[in-house]
Amino acid sequence: MANREILEEKSYKTVYREGNTIVKEFTPSHPKANVFNEAYIHACVEGCGVSVPKILGVAPSGGGWALSMEYVEGRTLQQMIDAEPEKAAEYLEKLVDIQLEVGKYRVPQLRNTRYKMEEAINTLTEIDASTKYELLQRIHGMKRHTKLCHGDLVPSNIIIREDGSWIVLDWAHATSGNAGADAAITYLRFSLEQPKIADQYLRLFCKKADMAIQYVQTWMPIVAAAQLTKHKEAERELLEKWISVAEYQ
Ligand SMILES: Nc1ncnc2c1ncn2[C@@H]1O[C@H](COP(=O)(O)OP(=O)(O)OP(=O)(O)O)[C@@H](O)[C@H]1O
Ligand SMILES: [Mg+2]
């Protein structure tokens, strides 16, 4: 049997490599449906021809469930940014190009971005009824689009192979909908984790997508509220600041 190399450990999952296979093993308390759902979304995206690692299966593992996929040789875009921060602009441009390329695909089996956000916001107990109302009105005012949205397109979810070609990981949050929402999520993740390059990302995205920054900004309180459902204490302050824009005055 090939050696197990642990790549990532979180409270609810471990990602490891075993030869040519990557295994994402979830803890026993992690809902079985979430694991199967991630595999389903991944398979739908793969079936539409997007560059993703082939999903190989879902199986019981370590008392819980694990999904396995093919191992892709290369470096993540995050590893490249960390190794050469002076080239951040070039790598951010690559990220934006990939995001725009992904958005050209249509995966009709996926849930719509607007519905997913609406459902998440409806479950929130942290915000008052008036703010919730304002956020839901904002969602209803958004156009219906059907672009493939990754839902967590950050540099650590992109692998660049030696020949420069790319492959995107981690499709659990993918939806069919609005590119502006997807950009707002990426911008939020940068603002939380790599604030120095967040604005650079947003400017680049809007320029390349020919999209008004104001349109992405309209999505910001919505994606921040949806992110609040994950209850990460370290994120709370920034999320509340973003949400406050939509508060009833
Ligand atoms: N198929 C793959 N081939 C090569 N490396 C992979 C593959 N899948 C994951 N990895 C490596 O493992 C790391 C973590 O995997 P993954 O992105 O799936 O989990 P995660 O980052 O913990 O999840 P999330 O992004 O949802 O928080 C990636 O950043 C990448 O370096
Ligand atoms: Mg990841």
- Cα 208 to ligand 1 centroid, rounded to whole Å: 27
| Residue 78 confidence (pLDDT) | 98
- Cα 106 to ligand 2 centroid, rounded to whole Å: 22
Round the average pLDDT of the chain to a whole number and report it: 96
List, chain by chain if needed, residues with CB within 6 Å of any ligand 1 atom: 7-8, 10, 15, 22, 24, 53, 69, 71-72, 76, 152, 156-157, 159, 169-170
CB atoms within 10 A of CB 60: 10
Task: Tell me which ligand sits closest to the C-alpha of residue 24.
Answer: 1
| Structural domains of the chain, with CATH | 4-70 (3.30.200.20), 75-244 (3.90.1200.10)
Confidence tier at 245 by pLDDT (50, 70, 90): confident
Using CA atoms in the order 73, 77, 83, 87, what is the torsion angle rounded to 10 degrees? 130
Q: Is residue 179 predicted with pLDDT exceeding 80?
A: yes
Q: Which of 169, 170, 227 to mutate to test the pocket of ligand 1 (most atoms within 8 A of CB)?
A: 169
| Residue 235 confidence (pLDDT) | 94
> What whole-number distance in Å separates Cα of residue 104 and Cα of residue 118?
24
Q: What is the mean pLDDT of residues 174-202?
A: 97
User: What is the reported pTM?
Assistant: 0.96
Q: Which of 69, 75, 80, 156 to mutate to test the pocket of ligand 1 (most atoms within 8 A of CB)?
A: 156
End-to-end Cα distance, the chain? 63
| Residue 247 confidence (pLDDT) | 77
- Cα 170 to ligand 1 centroid, rounded to whole Å: 7
- Whose CA is closest to atom 22 on ligand 1? 8
- Taking only the tens place, the pLDDT of each residue in 40-64 is 999 999 999 999 999 999 999 999 9
- Cα 212 to ligand 1 centroid, rounded to whole Å: 31
Q: What is the mean pLDDT of residues 55-79?
A: 98
> What phi and psi values does residue 68 have, to the nearest 5 degrees?
-120, 150
Q: What is the mean pLDDT of residues 19-38?
A: 98
